[in-house]
Structure 1
Amino acid sequence: MADPEILVAGETLIDFLPDRPGGLDAVETFTRRPGGAPANVAVGLATLEATPWFWTRVGSDPFGDLLARTLGEHGLPDRFVERDPEAKTTLAFVSHDEDADRAFTFYRDGTADTRMEPGLVDDEALETVSWVHLGGVTLASEPAREATIDLAARAREHGCTVSFDPNARPELWSDREEFATLIGELLPRVDVLKATPEDLAEADVGDSGNEPAALVRAACDRGPHTTLLTLGREGAAALATEDSPWTGETSHPGYAVEPVDTTGAGDAFTAGALAALSAGEDLEETLGFANAVAATTTTAEGAMTALPDRDAVARFREATPLAGDE
C-alpha cells in the first residue's frame, strides 16, 4: 500500500450507547461501541478508500485491546497507534433524546489519550502526507494539548493542509474561556475548519443564532481559508476564500432521512469532506458527498460501526431525496 495522503490525530475511546432515550439515570442497558471523533474520521476515511495514518493512544487494557484490534480490522496502519501501560482507555456514556440527538458523559481523567506527547509523528511522516486532521477534545488536557498544537504548527511548516474540528464538549472544560482562547490561538494555523454553530458559539466565533452565511464568514475571518458548517437536519454550508484552492460559497440542504442514532454523524461528514477535498472535488460536490456520508450513518446505531463505503453512499444518493424534496 502506498503511504497515506492524510494523517488524523486524536482520541480513540469506547462509547456506551443506551437501549432507550432519556437520561443516564433511567438507562439500565448499554451497548459497547468503538468511538472517538478522530477515530471515527480515520475509520470513515479508510471505509471510503482514503486510508490515513492515525495517531492515537489507548490503554494496555481490554478496552484498548478492542480498539487497537478494531482499527486494524478497518485497515488502519498501526505505526502511530500507541499503547499506554500506565493509563486506562477513555469511556463515554451516551444519552439520547426522542429525536436521536445525543449528549456525552466522559470518564477521561488521566486516561491514555490525554497523555499523547509532542514529537511522536516525525518529520518523515509529515513530508509524505498532504493533509493533517485534528480534533478539539485533546486540547482539554495536557500533555495532549501541547501535542495537538505542536502537530498543527509542524504540519503547516511541512506544507500540509491542516483541517480541524473543535468538537466542543463543555463537560470537559472547567473554564469555557480557556476553550475559546485555545481555539482562537489555533485557528490561524488551520486551513480547513469543520464546525457546528454550537462549536463556534463556544469558541466565541459568531453567535449560534446567526445565519450560516454570517457564521462561515466569521470563522474564515479568524484564519481558516475554508469553513464547513454542519447544520444537522438543515444540511451544511461552506465558504472558501480567495486563499483556498476551491474558492466559493455554497450550501446543501441535506437528505430526507429518519435518524436512528446521530452519534458520529459529524465525524462521518468530516471523513466525507476530507475524502472529497483531498481528491480534488469542488466545494459543492464535497458538501453533497459529505452530507450523504453523514446521513447514511444516522440510519444505523453507533458511530464507527455505521460508517458507509463508497458504494453505499452512491446508492443512498440515488435513492434518497434532498430535504424538502420528498
Structure 2
Amino acid sequence: MDVVTIGETMLLFTPDSIGLMRHANTFSAKVAGAESNVAIGLSRLGHKAGWISRVGDDEFGEKIRSFIRGEGVDISLVKKDSTAPTGIFFKEFRNPSDVRVYYYRKHSAASLMCKEDINEEYISKAKYLHITGITPALSDSCHEMVLKAVHLAKKHGVTVVFDPNLRRKLWEEERARRVLLEFVRHADIVLPGISEAEFLFGSRDPVECSELFLKQGASLVVMKLGNKGAYYVSEKVNGRVDGFKVPQVVDPVGAGDGFAAGFLSGMLDGLHVSQAVERGCAVGAMVVMVPGDVEGLPDQAALQSFITAAKDGDDVQR
C-alpha cells in the first residue's frame, strides 16, 4: 500500500441551478470527502491507496462504498454501521465567486469511528499515512482513533502527512488550535493553507509560518498559497513554486485535496520536492475547473498534458 488515509466521506447534493438553494428544485448527488478525495486522486495517478472509514448501513453508504471501490481504492476497512446514518452535505453556488457548503453530519456513522477501527498491520504496510484536521474534530473517539493511527505509523516507520484542513463549524477555536498543533507535532510532513497558518500562528507570511511549523517538529512543510502556488521548506531545501492560472474557476472546493494527491504522487514517484509541489499545484488547478470534489482529478496522461500545455503557454499559464 502506498498511502492509507482515514476520514468521513459523505453524499454531496448540488443544486442544478445557480443562486440561493431555496429556489432549487433538482439536485445532483456526488461522493465527496477530503480523505477519500486524496485516495481517489492517488489511485487515478497509478498509486495504491486505502481508505478507512464508516458509513451508514443505508443506500447512501452503499453508493459511497461502490463509487470509491470503483475508483480502485481499497475499502476493506470501511465498516457499515446500522446504528447511524451516512452524512450528507450541500454545496450552494450563489454566484461564481460565492460558493457555500452546508453539512448535515452530526451523529453520522463516521463520527462514531473509534480506535478499534484501526488495524496495525494495515497501517504498517503503508509508505504514507495521510490524515486531516477534519476527522479528530468529529468526536472524541475519532480524535483517539487518529492518534492511535499516528502512533502506529511512527512505530512502523510510516511517514505521517497532516493537512490541517480547518473546519471552523466543527469545533471551538481554542480546541481546534490545540488539537491541530498536536497533530502538527506528530507529523513528518505538514500541508497547511495560508489561512490555516494564520489561524494557528497569527501571520500570513508563508516563510515565517513555515518556520514556525518546522519548530513544532515537522521535517517538511508545504504551504499552499492558492493560485499563487506553494512555498516549501525543510532543513535541507526551500523554495517557491508558481501556481497554474486557469481560464475559469468553476468550483474551488477540493483543490487542497487535489494538491495533496498530486504532491504525494510526486513523492511516491521519487521526484524532487519542488517537482512534487509542482504536481500538487497542477492537480489542484485541474480540480477547480470542474464541478465536484473528485470529478476533475486527472490520470497521469491528463496531468502531463496539462503541465505541458501550461509550459507551452496554451490554455493555462504559469
**Map of 2:297 onto structure 1:** 307
> Is this contact kept in 1: 2:259–2:283, CA < 8 A?
yes
- The whole-number CA distance in structure 2 between the counterparts of 1:52 and 1:183 is 24
Cα distance per residue 1:7-61 (max 9 Å; x no partner): 1111111122234555544544432110010010011110111121111111111
- The whole-number CA distance in structure 1 between the counterparts of 2:317 and 2:290 is 23
The answer to whether residue 225 in structure 2 is matched with residue 231 in structure 1 is: yes
Deviation, 1:112, is 1.1
Cα distance per residue 1:216-255 (max 9 Å; x no partner): 1122222211111111121111112x3xxxx311111211
Please report the RMSD computed on the Cα atoms of aligned residues, expressed in angstroms. Answer: 2.0
The answer to whether residue 240 in structure 2 is matched with residue 251 in structure 1 is: yes
**Map of 1:136 onto structure 2:** 133
> Is this contact kept in 2: 1:193–1:227, CA < 8 A?
yes
Residues paired across the two proteins, number: 314
Q: 1:114 aligns with which of 105, 111, 116?
A: 111
**Map of 1:221 onto structure 2:** 215
TM-score, structure 2 as length reference: 0.92
- The whole-number CA distance in structure 2 between the counterparts of 1:64 and 1:148 is 22
- The whole-number CA distance in structure 1 between the counterparts of 2:316 and 2:43 is 32
Q: Give structure 1 stretches of 5+ with no counterpart.
A: none
Q: Give structure 2 stretches of 5+ with no counterpart.
A: none
Cα distance per residue 1:134-159 (max 9 Å; x no partner): 11111111311111111112211111
Q: 2:99 aligns with which of 99, 102, 126?
A: 102
**Map of 2:27 onto structure 1:** 30
Say if 1:127 and 1:320 are closer, same or farther in 2 by CA, change over 3 A: same
**Map of 1:205 onto structure 2:** 201
- The whole-number CA distance in structure 1 between the counterparts of 2:24 and 2:201 is 36
Letter in 2 for 1:135: T
**Map of 2:285 onto structure 1:** 295
Say if 1:149 and 1:122 are closer, same or farther in 2 by CA, change over 3 A: same
* 1:50-61 matched pairs, under 5 angstroms: 50-61=47-58
> Is this contact kept in 2: 1:194–1:227, CA < 8 A?
yes
- The whole-number CA distance in structure 2 between the counterparts of 1:171 and 1:33 is 22
- The whole-number CA distance in structure 2 between the counterparts of 1:225 and 1:124 is 25
- The whole-number CA distance in structure 2 between the counterparts of 1:122 and 1:166 is 23
**Map of 1:83 onto structure 2:** 80
Deviation, 1:325, is 5.5
- Segments ≥4 residues shifted beyond 6 Å: none
Query: What secondary structure sits across from 1:87 in the alignment?
Result: coil
Letter in 2 for 1:309: D
Query: What secondary structure sits across from 1:75 in the alignment?
Result: coil
**Map of 1:92 onto structure 2:** 89
- The whole-number CA distance in structure 1 between the counterparts of 2:80 and 2:143 is 18
Higher mean C-alpha deviation, range 119-128 or range 132-141: 119-128
Deviation, 1:186, is 1.8
TM-score, structure 1 as length reference: 0.90
Q: 1:283 aligns with which of 273, 287, 291?
A: 273
